[in-house]
Structure 1
């Protein structure tokens, strides 16, 4: 069986095409089409305020005109350093409207990380929350070691009046010398004419920085064509229709939020619900108020939302299209959450370098579980996409054998910003070597085993942490689990598990070790279990095994 034959196409729903043709060349074209077709339709719900497509368009154009007046030229970079606020989308569109590139910056970044990203991207302008400017960005800019010439500040209190105390207690607007206020720009430059930029599908739209777990972060060059194509993948894969709202749980700076929330809402011409940052109780109220239909988020976010005080199945009734990315779903957790949400949570898989999805479980289809490993499939390759499973030499491995995923398709980035050697290493011939290890079964379903770097070598036996974690998730007391390898004099490495427990349950480390021992080969089960209150996570909700390894 050849991967190029795409055996997974048989898993597509009847009538679904194998390939799609992108309707729009650029991400800005996607937005302009929505703003033209439905200017007065809601685009963003932010607490008690609604911003229409036309209002966002005018705001972004006003900011773009200000940037251009300050010397921002086509190809320049605007760093956007905010939370899930309307200002993120306004900044994104403004960068494109001015012919430039947006740099998506994690709002959890501190001075060292911000210094690196501003320096690596060469950003000449910065849009930031006012408190982040005072606490983090101002000292970085003051060094004079960046190219930033223009700083625009915004407040999380902008574009709403509710001032929810659960998020905003004690928050006040903070003006700083040498900065320009975004709301004032919108008020003072509304209607300022601006020539249409010359953009193409191959132009970089956003620099999204990888986490840097194996070295310094790299700026993936997500092109306009990448974003426009994968927005259409989300829409056509899920069948989302105009007006069927999107819930913005994933951080917008992350590729999942950027494409699966912002770009999808633009293309589907549907409102996006934002709430500054993910807080389960606040998000629950936003669901009750705005009744979104679709979301994609880390499974840890679904887990937290399901435990929000006062949550009932009726609260989640509108959310009938659910997808989870960032990490594979443990089958036991998926079953439990389905009972809470009343809808099946489909797996979806991709990377920053694939502009979000490369694989997904078709809507309405239940992913199979591999009988040997217990892994839940991450889905099948999406439209226009070929994924090979390869060995260390880059050759295809037989069906069912484990290897590295290598992905080709319209969503794959063209490279890393100013890093030709890293580009050549990770994208030989334009095919992405993902670093993710797994296999494809005879029916074309793909199963993610783990990251290559996370594999544990215990006395010469390979142990994949995810398999051990999946077993732990079947224990009724376990809320979250993470497994790592730790040094062992006899075995070289041995298996250690970190576990957090559900609020209404108890379990001892010895009990959990015995539980795994009953279900796993002797070399696989954890020799040590440590119970913790919370596991370390990224802002997107992905559990950080590397932080646990650093504790050893």
Structure 2
């Protein structure tokens, strides 16, 4: 069987094409088409208020004019240091309107991290939440270590009328000397804001967003997500899910993350659907947003779905509108998916991709249950999406046959051209346009793909390879286990041995020895955890991915 034969195409629903052609040359063209076709359709819904496509366009043009007056132009970078607020989308479009690049920054970043990202990207302008800027951004900018010349602040209280105390208790607007205020710029610009701005003539190869990798090895790298990447993968979401105009999207993923950028913002632009925003993920707030706006689709980390299902007062009826659910960021343990379906009422489909693949490279077809590998117990992450080739290669770089474990090597229209100002890293990770993902897994004979783990997470116990995912999936089948993470720890006899960190469901008592015995009954002797540590919470990224690295550091 040859990968060139794309055996996974047989898994596509009948009538689904193997390849698609992006309808628009740029992400800005996607947005402009929506403004022209449905100017009065709701685009952003945020705590009781809504912004139409036309209103967001006017706001972005007003910001673009203010930035242009201060020297921002084609190729310049605007850093976005906000949460899931309307300002994020306004800022991104404003940068594009001038032919510039948006830099998506995690709002949890502190001074050291923000300094690095601003310096590395060479951002000359910054749009930040006013409280974040006052506490963190101002010292960075005032230090003179970055190239930032223009600062625009916004408030989480803008464009809403609820002041929900669960998120905004005690929050007040802050003005810092030397900054512009986004709301004031929009109000002053009026109805014809930026009408005279020239067309930036953006094309598929122009960089749209610098989205930084998590930096698990070395400093974070800015993946150059292009307009072509965005236009293509937005269409993947639309065509893969079958979403129709007006069917709402729930924004549970952070907008700075590639999932939020493409699976939320770009999908909403292309499908011409409202995007529900709620500042940041707080389960009870998000549950109320679902009840109010009745969105149809969302994609997020499996931990977010678990938090929604466990929110006080949540019932299956609350989630009835959410008929299209996808989860990415970390593979789903089969037992967890089954439990959540009982509460949410809908099957959570796996989706897989990286920052460097502009979100999805694989997905489970809508309405299809992903198979479980009988040997490892892993749930498939899906099949390659349209136009996408994924080879599984061994250490020698040669293709491996179905069933053999190797590294995923991905090529397609969603793969970024490289890392910002890092030619060596680009040549190493994306030689010839093929992304060497660092993720390890296999393809079965039917074309389904399974992620075993990251290469660096593999445990070598007495010469045997142990993949943490397999051990975690077994632990998840225990009714008391809420979350599990497995790492390798030094062992005098075995070199490394298996250790598990586990958090439990509320009001459940179970000891480490019971969990060890439970795993021992179901796994080979070299695989089961020799120690289990029960913790209240496992460390996670803002996107909900469990941080094995942090557990390893703490255990060393």
TM-score normalised according to structure 2 size: 0.99
Give the equivalent residue in structure 2 for 1:206: 209
Equivalents in 2 of 1:327, 1:198: separation in Å? 37
Equivalent residue number for residue 517 of structure 1? 520
Once residues 180 and 381 of structure 2 are traced to their aligned partners in structure 1, the CA distance between those partners, rounded to angstroms, is 45
CA contact (8 A) 1:66 1:189 kept: no
2:24 aligned counterpart, secondary structure: coil
Q: 1:505, 1:479 → 2: CA distance?
A: 10
1:87-141 Cα distance to aligned partner (Å, 9 max, x none): 0000000000011000000000000000000000000000000011011110000
1:108 and 1:426 mapped to 2: Cα distance?
27
2:298 alignment partner, SS class: strand
* Map of 1:527 onto structure 2: 530
Q: 1:297 aligns with which of 295, 300, 320?
A: 300
- The answer on 1:175 being equivalent to 2:178 is no
Q: Which consecutive unaligned segments of at least 5 residues does structure 2 have? A: none
Match of 1:83 in 2: 83
Report the counterpart of residue 19 of structure 2 in structure 1: 19
Q: Which moved more, 1:392-401 or 1:56-65?
A: 392-401
CA distance in 1, matches of 2:73, 2:155: 26
1:140-176 CA-partner distances (Å, limit 9, x unpaired): 0011110000000000000001000000001000000
The partner residue of 2:256 within 247, 253, 257 is 253
Deviation at 1:195, TM superposition (A): 1.1
Match in the other structure for 1:458? 461
1:47 maps to 47
TM-aligned CA deviation for residue 504 of structure 1: 3.0
C-alpha displacement of 1:198: 2.0
The aligned counterpart of 2:365 is 362
| Aligned equivalents of 2:206, 2:149: Cα separation in 1 | 23
User: Does structure 1 residue 492 correspond to structure 2 residue 489?
Assistant: no
**Secondary structure, counterpart of 1:31 in structure 2:** helix
Q: Which position in structure 1 is the counterpart of 2:545?
A: 542
Q: CA deviation at 1:393?
A: 2.1
Cα displacement string for residues 433-456 of structure 1 (whole angstroms, at most 9, x for unaligned residues): 000000000000000000000000
Q: Distance in 2 between matches of 1:79 and 1:137?
A: 11
Shift of 1:196: 1.4
Structure 1 residue 250 displacement after superposition = 0.1
Q: 389, 409, 412: which is aligned to 2:412?
A: 409
Structure 2 SS opposite 1:551? helix
**Which residue of 363, 375, 378 corresponds with 2:378?**
375
**What are the residue-to-residue correspondences of 1:63-462 with 2, within 5 Å?**
63-190=63-190, 191-192=193-194, 193-462=196-465
Q: For structure 1, which segment, 457-466 or 185-194, has the greater mean C-alpha deviation from structure 2 after superposition?
A: 185-194
- Deviation, structure 1 residue 189: 2.1
Cα drift, residue 221 of structure 1: 0.1
The 5-angstrom pairing of residues 22-33 of structure 1 reads 22-33=22-33
1:224 is displaced (CA, Å) by 0.1
Distance 1:395 1:295 in 2: 37
CA shift digits 1:299-342 (9 cap, x unpaired): 00000110000000000000000000001100000000011111
Q: Does 1:57 align with 2:60?
A: no
SS at match of 1:323: strand
Alpha-carbon distance in structure 2 between the residues aligned to 1:194 and 1:441: 52
- Runs of 4 or more consecutive aligned structure 1 residues displaced over 4 Å after TM superposition: none
CA distance in 1, matches of 2:234, 2:198: 26
Distance in 1, matches of 2:189 and 2:211, equals: 29
CA distance in 2, matches of 1:4, 1:44: 41
User: CA–CA distance in 2 between the matches of 1:456 and 1:134?
Assistant: 44
Distance 1:488 1:324 in 2: 35
Report the TM-score when normalising by structure 1: 1.00
SS at match of 2:451: strand
Distance 2:225 2:138 in 1: 28
